[in-house]
Amino acid sequence: SAVISQKPSRDICQRGTSLTIQCQVDSQVTMMFWYRQQPGQSLTLIATANQGSEATYESGFVIDKFPISRPNLTFSTLTVSNLSPEDSSIYLCSVTARGTNEKLFFGSGTQLSVL
Amino acid sequence: GESVGLHLPTLSVQEGDNSIINCAYSNSASDYFIWYKQESGKGPQFIIDIRSNMDKRQGQRVTVLLNKTVKHLSLQIAATQPGDSAVYFCAENSNTGNQFYFGTGTSLTVIP
Predicted confidence (pLDDT) per residue in A67-84, tens digit? 999 999 999 999 999 999
Lowest mean pLDDT among A23-27, A92-96, A98-102, B63-67: A98-102
Chains A & B: contacts with CB separation below 8 Å: 55
At B72, the pLDDT band (50, 70, 90 cuts) reads very high
Q: Nearest by CB to A106, which of B43, B101, B105?
A: B43
pLDDT tens sequence across B10-59: 999 999 999 999 999 888 889 899 999 999 989 999 999 999 999 999 99
pLDDT tens sequence across A1-21: 688 999 999 999 999 999 999
Q: Is A18 helix (H, G, I), strand (E, B) or coil?
A: coil
Per-residue pLDDT for A93 more than 80? yes
Q: Nearest by CB to A106, which of B44, B49, B93?
A: B44
So what's the pLDDT on residue A69?
96
Q: How far is CA A73 from CA A29, A64, B19, in A?
A: 6, 23, 39
- Contact present, A71 and A52 (Cβ < 8 Å): yes
So what's the pLDDT on residue A101?
64
Gap between the Cα atoms of B94 and B41, Å rounded: 29
Gap between the Cα atoms of B40 and B31, Å rounded: 29
Q: Nearest by CB to B34, which of A31, A59, A103?
A: A103
Q: Is B77 on the interface with A (CB under 8 A)?
A: no
Find, in chain A, the residue whose alpha carbon is nearest to that of B44: A106
Q: Is A105 on the interface with B (CB under 8 A)?
A: yes
At B8, the pLDDT band (50, 70, 90 cuts) reads very low
Percent of chain B residues past pLDDT 90, beyond the cut: 76
The more confident residue out of A63 and A30 is A63
CA distance A78 to chain B (A): 17
Are A108 and B99 inside 8 Å of each other by CB?
Answer: no
Are A41 and B105 inside 8 Å of each other by CB?
Answer: yes
**Alpha-carbon dihedral of residues A80, A83, A87, A90, nearest 10 degrees?**
50
So what's the pLDDT on residue B99?
87
Alpha helix stretches (DSSP H) within chain B: none
Q: Which among A42, A46, A91, A101 is the top mutation candidate for probing chain B, defined by the most B β-carbons within 10 Å of its own β-carbon? A: A42
CA distance B35 to chain A (A): 10
So what's the pLDDT on residue A71?
93
So what's the pLDDT on residue B80?
97
Tell me the CB-side half-sphere exposure of residue B90, using CA atoms within 13 A.
Answer: 31
| Chain B residues in contact with A35 (beta carbon < 8 A) | 102
